[in-house]
Amino acid sequence: MRAFKTKLEPFGRGWVNCESSDRELRAASGYLLWARETENLKIDPDLGLCYAYMDGAVGCTNYAPVYCDSGELDRLAAAHPEDADDLMFIKEQMLPVLKHQHIPDYFTEEQRLHAADGHLWGGTWTGHSNPKYADFALLGTDFFRKKVEACRLSNPGHDPFYDAMMTTLDAVDVLGARFGELARDMLARGELTDAQRERTQRIARAFDHAPQKPCRDFFEGVVLFSMIFTLDGPSPDSPGYFDQYMIDLWRLTEPALRRETLENLWQFFHSRRIWNLCIGGSDEHWNDRSNELTYEILDVTAKYAYNTPNLTMRVHRNTPETLMRAAYRTIAAGCGLPALYNDEAVCPALERLGIPPCDSHLYVMNGCNQIDIMGKSHMGLEDGEVLLAKAVELALTNGVSVKSGRRLGLETGDPADFESYDAFYAAVLRQLDHLTDIAASMANTAQKIYRETGANPLRSLLIDGCVEKARDYKDGGPLYGHGQILAEGIADAANSLAVVKKLVFGEKRFTMRELSEACAADFEGFEAIPRAAARADLRFGNDSEFVDGIAKELVDHFNRYLLGIQTVRGGWYGGGCSPFNRAAHYGHALGALPDGHRKFAPLIADSIGAVPGTDVNGPTALLNSCLSFDHTLPTSGFILNVKFDRDLFRTKAGEEAFLALAKSYFERRGQQLSVTVVSEEELRDAQAHPEAHRDLIVRVGGYSDYFVNLSRDLQDNVIARTSY
């Protein structure tokens, strides 16, 4: 053991001085010393919350199982020369071990070239998950100690792992004791207002028995929740199924106190840009699970109209009409929340993976819209993405990417030699499968490295399966370890295929040679082709049986193909669609396409819906087109962005029309609706005068954001969407 002189970086010192080489036990030792020594503990007397952010140069958070920030250690050493030797020792000991910090170094040259071209990625995102953050509040650490020791007895030979779990529980108890002491010190100083003093007294009383014992009311539960939630890092993850796991404590609490506590928690969630919180839904017998807390959360969301937390509401055949109307009123507030997800599509999709109904109906969203099973899985982390429209481009160029000039695709032949649409489509599928294989292989490369060197004992405690198996949550510990590779540029690909099928091989208005030459020239001298391609019956989103059938065949193929690829985590891949804020980025990676897309133009489809502005037959036509897909195939969020005029949406007629539209869509197994309520004039004025529209919120990818914060390309994308 090293006799450290520095008092900096307690997690790193605990990790280095752990006498075991077990990665989980080293991480737990870091947690314990950090809990004992950190000065980064704060009680917020205005909100009644406790913050325990781990934000040092060395630590362990949700997005980074044990990490070591080399640059930050160098800066600290320069600022504290008396500690430089110790800090460099930590760096020298940790960096060679933490292979997961250097995932791209383990990719092949081919994989790197594809990623650099910008049309796919895989494995470079650590990912979200949905740990049971509230379990320390609901059960107490004494419960977990009994569980750990019971599993140790039934699963011998894994003492270092179980020692790590016990050490992590010790760290949680140390934090609780320190917060109790901090609360009493604040009270003793006499500097608090009456309201602050009352909240701080409640915090002190909570830590008289917690975290060892369960909390007694909603206030105490939120205090413990905030402590554990913030321990997960400076940018905490997704709260998950909040109205389900907090309802019992809610009911034990006096109404005024619980409402105040919820509103205070909402302020915290928004200030830290918290990810997905889920409400509503059904059980495996299709009984509705909504409760009074569900309605309170919708009310708070509408009251503040923040863009975060990213709120999801699950709907199903027995969702009460009162709840749908409450959700409508919240959406009408203009925050783009809640996003609506359909159990009738998601649960069957998850059950295709072998997840039983009792667990499929516990699904929640994390991040933007990735799907997990609450506290039981590590599969909603978004493992990669593939630009479907790129497969069309590569089939037109015999595998050469327009962006880089490199042959990144397969050699599927000179496009002029394709004698039928079926031959061309077969080439597109070969290119698409190749891109999908590359993205999945990159994801599996990353998963192998995380399995070897990643460690996060806190998450392993809070996700079912890990303690029982004595395996880290990055090492196949969770009950479900499936994966998600997402599709982008869906409508662009479908429109382009429709042009080839109809205008080249159907009406024979152009030859394949003319089409490929036109795309290579970015339509200079071939202006007749994009004009002809602009027909509504060749544009996905207009209820055209012809183009919708092409879109269905392509997307269903992609989703089925993924279901045959295994993850290293012990599951199977599935598909979805969630561009986040990357839609414009993917447009920049595309050459000219048969549908008239110009080379590197940023405007492409930003969900499963139409290319913005090309759906001209109304919202029912758009939804009918999107229902051509099999929504029980994608196992991740399959988002549809829809934009409605603010004035219409806030009328009774607008309410009835939208609810009827949503009901029809969900009854026909559409998976998801994300709604932006805004006026066209407001969007254009906000682009010209952003200072006057700081609070204007729109849906982008699977989340809500302030319009003025978006890049110009993304703003143009939102403006171009058809407004209904």
For residue 456, tell me if it sits in a domain: yes
Question: Six-digit token pair at 410?
Answer: 């397969």
- Reference 382, options 370, 368, 373, 366; nearest CA is 370
pLDDT of residue 69: 96
On whether residue 148 sits in a domain, the answer given is no
Residue 22 confidence (pLDDT) above 90:
yes
Please tell me the number of Cα atoms within 13 Å of 17 on its side-chain side. Answer: 17
Q: How sure is the predictor about 16, in pLDDT bands with cuts at 50, 70 and 90?
A: very high
Mean pLDDT for the stretch of residues 431-436: 98
Tell me the per-residue pLDDT of 297-322, one tens digit each, with 9 for 90 and over.
999 999 999 999 999 999 999 999 99
Query: Tens of pLDDT along 338-371?
Result: 999 999 999 999 999 999 999 999 999 998 889 9
**At residue 716, what is the residue type?**
D
Last residue of a domain, one of 605, 639, 660: 605
Q: Which of 172, 143, 185 is nearest to 28 (CA)?
A: 172
- Tally Cβ neighbours within 10 Å of residue 237: 23
Number of domains in the chain: 2
Is residue 249 in some structural domain? no
State residue 127's pLDDT score. 85
Distance CA 602, CA 584 (A): 4
On the question of pLDDT at 556 being above 80, the answer is yes
Mean pLDDT of 183-201: 97
Instruction: Work out the percent of the chain whose per-residue pLDDT is above 90.
Output: 92
pLDDT band at 382, cuts 50/70/90?
confident
- Closest by alpha carbon to 435, among 486, 396, 499, 482? 486
Query: Which pLDDT score, from 0 to 100, does residue 55 have?
Result: 83
Structure tokens at 586: 């993917």
* 591 part of a folded domain: yes
694 contacts 706 by C-beta, under 8 angstroms: yes
C-alpha span between 137 and 562 (Å, rounded): 39
Q: Which of 122, 154, 183 finishes a domain?
A: 122
- 586-609 pLDDT per residue, tens: 999 999 999 999 999 999 999 999
pTM attached to this predicted model: 0.96
Place of tokens 């806190």: 458
| Strands 697-700 vs 703-706: parallel, antiparallel or unpaired | antiparallel
Classify the C-alpha dihedral 699-702-705-707 as positive or negative.
negative
b or e along 498-532 (b: 16 or more beta carbons within 10 Å of the residue's beta carbon)?
Answer: bbbbbbbbeeeebebeebbbbbbebbeebeebbeb
Tokens of 302: 């509408």
Domain span at 104: 10-122
In this prediction, residue 383 carries a pLDDT of: 95
Cis peptide leading into residue 338 (ω within 30°): yes
Residues in the chain: 724
Q: pLDDT of 41-94, one tens digit each? A: 999 999 999 999 988 999 998 777 999 999 999 999 999 999 999 999 999 999
Task: Identify the pLDDT of residue 185.
Answer: 98
Whether the CB-CB separation of 293 and 299 falls below 8 Å is answered with no
Give me the DSSP letters along 174-230: HHHHHHHHHHHHHHHHT---HHHHHHHHHHHHHTTTTTTS--SSHHHHHHHHHHHHH
Model confidence at 249, pLDDT cuts 50, 70, 90, reads: very high
Say what the pLDDT of residue 284 is.
98
pLDDT at 234: 78
d(CA 328, CA 320): 13
Residue-wise pLDDT tens digits, 501-555 = 999 999 999 999 999 999 999 999 999 999 999 999 999 999 999 999 999 999 9
Q: Is 20 helix (H, G, I), strand (E, B) or coil?
A: coil
Q: How far apart are CA 448 and CA 463, in angstroms?
A: 20
Across all residues in the chain, what is the average pLDDT? 96
pLDDT tens track for 666-694: 999 999 999 999 988 999 999 999 999 99
For the chain, give the percent of residues with pLDDT over 70. Answer: 100
Give the pairing of strands 310-315 and 339-342: parallel
Name which of 479, 321, 458 is nearest 24 in CA terms. Answer: 458
Backbone phi and psi for residue 542, each to the nearest 5 degrees, phi listed first:
-115, 20
Tell whether 35 is covered by a domain. yes
For residue 581, what pLDDT is reported?
84
Helices (H), 563-609: 583-588
Q: In this model, does residue 466 exceed pLDDT 80? A: yes
Mean pLDDT of 241-264: 98
Rounded to an integer, the average pLDDT of 202-209 is 98
| Model pLDDT, residue 650 | 86
Please give the average per-residue pLDDT across 388-399, as a whole number.
98
pLDDT at 126 over 90: no
3-class secondary structure for 74-103? HHHHHHCHHHHHHHHHHHHHHCCCCHHHHH
Please say whether the beta carbons of 644 and 676 come within 8 A.
yes
End residue of a domain, out of 122, 140, 160: 122
Q: Is residue 205 part of a domain?
A: no
Could you tell me the two tokens for 51? Answer: 């913050």
Flag whether 391 is in a domain.
Answer: yes
Question: 310 in a domain, yes or no?
Answer: no
Write down the pLDDT at residue 183: 98
351 within 8 A of 366, measured Cβ to Cβ: no
